[in-house]
Amino acid sequence: MIGRYTRPVMGAIWTPQAKFDSWLAVELAATEAWVAEGIVPAEDAKRCRETAAFTVEAVDEREKVTDHDVAAFIDVVAASIGDEGRWIHYGLTSSDVLDTALAVQLGAAGEILVEGALAYRNALVERAFEFRDTLCVGRTHGVHAEPTTFGLRLAGFAFEADRNLERLREAVDACRVGKLSGAVGTYASTPPSVEARVMDSLGLDREEIATQVVPRDRHANLLSAIALAGAGIERFATEIRHLQRTEVREAEEPFATGAQKGSSAMPHKRNPIRSERLTGLARLLRGYAQTGLENVALWHERDISHSGAERVILPDATITLDYMQSLATSLASGLVVHEDRLRSNLEATHGALFSQRALTALVESGMSRDEAYRVVQSAAQEAFDTGTHFRELIGAGAPDLDLDAVFDYDAYLAHIPEVFERLEALRT
């Protein structure tokens, strides 16, 4: 991922140095596990641990000869140790190292993503409580529908963020799996006891049954969870983009007046650039998830058609979501809400947004549903067209209706306590 969208802590997990460090951790853990089998002398394993070294540049230079990155790495590390270096990679195949090391990296990256998902969810929860009872208009198809509260709308995003948090946790845990079962996964060159010791030392689970690789449904699941988390952020960003439109202006992104510039040409502009950026990056995550799904089907016990794709999509997907989570959290925390606009827009239909309550009231009075619908629809359209308040129009056509009961904002707020009781549980 380009530096613009890479946060340092997450980016550090995916550097060439970090990759080779994780490879070395697997190789040394395996060498030490062989000591218990009576194969590798303890002093030789100690020598490997104390002297093993490499540089990224040396591995890259060696790969020009081997045309195989793991073989190049082994050559460089073994040479740095001396005679005892012959035990490096003993009994292993490349995928033992690659997949197990990848599990270590994904575990570290996953912890950051889970922390980011938690922070984003919590920011939404707090803002939802802030605007718990702040009335606003709800929209369907972008058109005014019925009253709700701004807090309820934010609560919906918060609950979605909580579901994405749980999906990420589960998907990351499912990727904390390694294998040291050798070529074709038969344990012919490395016994399960060595694998078990290595996984214990690295904090990983053992793959239940590997081929020559860890099955890629695990990685596809993680990429799908990442894409879903991105889609949730995109949904929130899309809402802000609409609300920041000049004609609406119910809420807008924080803007650093006096420093930030909204347009190179038009100084008056305050554009929803963060929300638009989040929308665009979410598209990348869906592409990465698709590629992850394509990686599941490999030939027989393994091929490497997944390898090149994973070198791109796994670092990029985790880096991108980490950036998106940080940006979305700051957007949620700093969101500027214009309560005066919320209230004025609530009146834009001249009361017609109470149409369903008027409809049900007429049905209760004995009118057929179709007739009641036509009466209410006609009055609502006249309110739109003439600016005459819907209450006045519906009252003239149905004088026996209890208009105070029909035009009652509190009727739309009755379920708020139950929703926020559940939301409170997320706080604790």
Has 263 been annotated as catalytic?
A: yes
Catalytic residue among 22, 68, 89, 141: 141
- If we measure between CA atoms, which residue out of 103, 85, 23 comes closest to residue 49? 85
Instruction: Return the H-helix or E-strand segment holding 174.
Output: helix 150-175
Residues 186, 103: Cα–Cα separation, whole Å: 20
Has 141 been annotated as catalytic?
A: yes
Whether 205 contacts 175, CB under 8 Å: no
Q: Three-state DSSP class for 251?
A: strand
Whether 397 contacts 358, CB under 8 Å: no
Catalytic residue among 68, 193, 263, 344: 263
For residue 320, with 0-12 CB atoms within 10 Å meaning exposed, 13-18 middle and 19 or more buried, which class applies? Answer: buried
* Helical segments of 203-272, H only: 217-243
Q: Three-state DSSP class for 107?
A: helix
Residues 291, 293: Cα–Cα separation, whole Å: 5
Residues 275, 4: Cα–Cα separation, whole Å: 16
Give percent helix, percent strand, percent coil of the chain, each to the nearest 5: 70, 5, 30
- If we measure between CA atoms, which residue out of 77, 105, 92 comes closest to residue 19? 105
- If we measure between CA atoms, which residue out of 104, 103, 99, 92 comes closest to residue 194? 92
- If we measure between CA atoms, which residue out of 350, 365, 353 comes closest to residue 397? 365
Tokens encoding 57: 């540049």
Residues 187, 172: Cα–Cα separation, whole Å: 26
Which three-class secondary structure string do you get for 110-125? HHHHHHHHHHHHHHHH
Residues 376, 42: Cα–Cα separation, whole Å: 87
Residues annotated as catalytic (active site), given as ranges: 141, 263
